[in-house]
């Protein structure tokens, strides 16, 4: 276990060493906020497990972890004298089964697969080096995108605004600065005196465990609320805008994010409060016409009936536990990307901003 770092930014997931003998290192987010622990992943299965059980989570961070995880598959092929391209492809295929909703996972692995094919004529060691370079590029690009999202989004936050957010879309969910929290961090750094109301985010409490932790350590004023308090906080006039992240955005702007986001969007509309989604271009899935085709992950019922090890429901009770919901584009005021703000939220505006 390591002590909590003093630096402002966090390397949520990274690579240590060379392509041939290195490993993936990541923050175990299941231990926060009481313990700050970095763990090492030396094989594909350990990266798969880390993604599946949410040791690493957040769409961009999942994509980065998967890209580095694929390198471990190639590393094993190199050490075993097996076919490098086959090893990389097998690792990529396995990692794709870890979680279904966040499109960044598949986007990053598609990049790794293409890189491996393009470099397949190289010697095995050189091919693995090339794939690791691509994984590093994915992480580096994410850091730049997060900073750009923050700059564009801060312009939308009035001085002294109350900002409500749901789940965690900060540095822990990305390579560096966050998406939704990037907007808040940038506004705070500009001296806008924003105050955040963080939904706890049932059932796994990412808002309480992670978002509140990130904001507090950066000195951003934050008040933690239960999910079912959001309407009252809005009614009392404490919230002037809502900013959330995204795990997948369809071509028309329908947005999949942590369960409960749709309800927050409805509350924001009822109280005439702007509702913003902050996400990099890699989170858009233009192959989906709308959100009805987004795969929604169903998680273990025990997250609800015995969350964090304590039973809170009767034995044998039926449970429905979707991890995500889809907010219709009609409820989204604008989408904040590294390329600028998309408004109105529709397919024409999205394709124009993304250049597709």
Q: Is the pLDDT of residue 225 over 60?
A: yes
Whole-number pLDDT of residue 53: 96
Per CATH, the homologous superfamily of domain 13-146 is: translation initiation factor eif-2b, domain 1 (1.20.120.420)
Residue extents of the structural domains in the chain: 13-146, 150-354
pLDDT band at 80, cuts 50/70/90? confident
Which residues are tagged catalytic?
247
pLDDT band at 4, cuts 50/70/90? low
Q: Is the pLDDT of residue 9 over 70?
A: no
Q: Is the pLDDT of residue 3 over 50?
A: no
Alpha helices in the chain (DSSP H): 44-52, 59-80, 84-95, 103-118, 124-154, 180-189, 206, 212-217, 230-235, 261-270, 302-305, 347-354
Domain 150-354 has CATH 3.40.50.10470: yes
pLDDT band at 250, cuts 50/70/90? very high
How far is the C-alpha of 272 from the C-alpha of 234, rounded, in Å? 10
pLDDT band at 1, cuts 50/70/90? very low
Supply the mean pLDDT for the chain: 96
Give the number of other CB atoms < 10 A from CB of residue 298.
13
pLDDT digits over 20-79, tens only? 999 999 999 999 999 999 999 999 999 999 999 999 999 999 999 999 999 999 999 998
DSSP state at residue 291: G
Q: Is the pLDDT of residue 6 over 70?
A: no
- Comparing CA positions, the residue from 90, 52, 50 lying closest to residue 70 is 90
Between 141 and 7, whose confidence is greater? 141
């Amino acid at each position: 276990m390591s002590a909590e770092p003093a630096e402002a930014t966090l390397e949520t997931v990274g690579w240590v060493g060379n392509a041939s003998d290195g490993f993936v290192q990541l923050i175990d987010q299941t231990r926060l906020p009481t313990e700050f622990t970095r763990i090492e992943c030396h094989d594909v299965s350990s990266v798969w497990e880390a993604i599946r059980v949410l040791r690493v989570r957040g769409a961009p961070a999942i994509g980065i972890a998967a890209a580095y995880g694929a390198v471990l598959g190639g590393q094993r092929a190199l050490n075993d004298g097996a076919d490098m391209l086959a090893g990389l492809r097998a690792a990529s295929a396995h990692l794709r089964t870890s979680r279904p909703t966040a499109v960044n996972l598949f986007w990053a692995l598609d990049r790794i697969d293409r890189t491996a094919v393009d470099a397949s004529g190289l010697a095995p060691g050189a091919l693995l080096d090339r794939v690791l370079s691509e994984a590093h590029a994915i992480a580096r690009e994410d850091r730049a995108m997060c900073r750009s999202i923050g700059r564009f989004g801060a312009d939308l936050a009035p001085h002294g605004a109350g900002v409500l957010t749901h789940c965690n879309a900060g540095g822990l969910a990305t390579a560096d600065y966050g998406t939704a929290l990037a907007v808040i961090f940038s506004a705070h750094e500009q001296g806008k005196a924003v105050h955040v109301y963080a939904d706890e985010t049932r059932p796994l409490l990412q808002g309480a465990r992670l978002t509140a932790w990130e904001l507090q350590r950066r000195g951003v004023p934050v008040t933690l609320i239960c999910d079912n308090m959001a309407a009252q906080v809005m009614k009392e006039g404490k919230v002037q805008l809502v900013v959330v992240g995204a795990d997948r955005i369809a071509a028309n702007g329908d947005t999949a994010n942590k369960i409960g986001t749709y309800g927050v969007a409805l509350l924001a509309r009822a109280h005439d409060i702007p509702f913003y989604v902050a996400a990099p271009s890699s989170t858009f899935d233009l192959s989906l016409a709308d959100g009805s085709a987004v795969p929604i992950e169903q998680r273990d019922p025990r997250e609800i009936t015995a969350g964090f090890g304590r039973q809170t429901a009767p034995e044998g009770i039926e449970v429905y536990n979707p991890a995500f919901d889809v907010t219709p584009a009609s409820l989204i005021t604008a989408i904040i990307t590294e390329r600028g703000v998309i408004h109105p939220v529709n397919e024409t505006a999205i394709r124009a901003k993304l250049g597709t």
